[in-house]
Amino acid sequence: QVQFVESGGGLVQPGGSLRLSCVASGTIFSIYAMAWYRQAPGKQRELVARIFSDSGTNYADSVKGRFTISRDNAKNTVYLQMNSLKPEDTAVYYCNESPPSDWGQGTQVTVSS
């Protein structure tokens, strides 16, 4: 199965921005939906954003207007542009198919002053 490696996380101040990248081990062209998930300490993993093969997108209400998911099939890469970050966005962010398969290590995003 296709595996995913996330990167781009880090420490950012509230109101700041980050762009996460997800590189797949194989083509993502045939994957119907790719998604970003996140899991904060003590909370369930949640779906953040999803992008379909036709480039249509879907976002959790908590990130609408702030996050943008995109995909570059030629690079087998999915991105998550995160703007106007809030402390509540602090979590480990994971990239996966939707519905998800095996999970990778994720990338830590910490929003704090």
The one-letter amino acid code at 110 reads T
Write the pLDDT tens digit of every residue in 45-72.
999 999 999 889 999 999 999 999 999 9
pLDDT value, residue 42: 94
Give Cβ neighbours of residue 46 (< 8 Å, ≥ 6 apart).
Answer: 37, 38, 39, 60
Structure confidence at residue 29 as a pLDDT band (50, 70, 90): confident
Cα 91 to its chain centre, rounded Å, is: 11
Give the count of beta carbons closer than 10 Å to the beta carbon of residue 57. Answer: 16
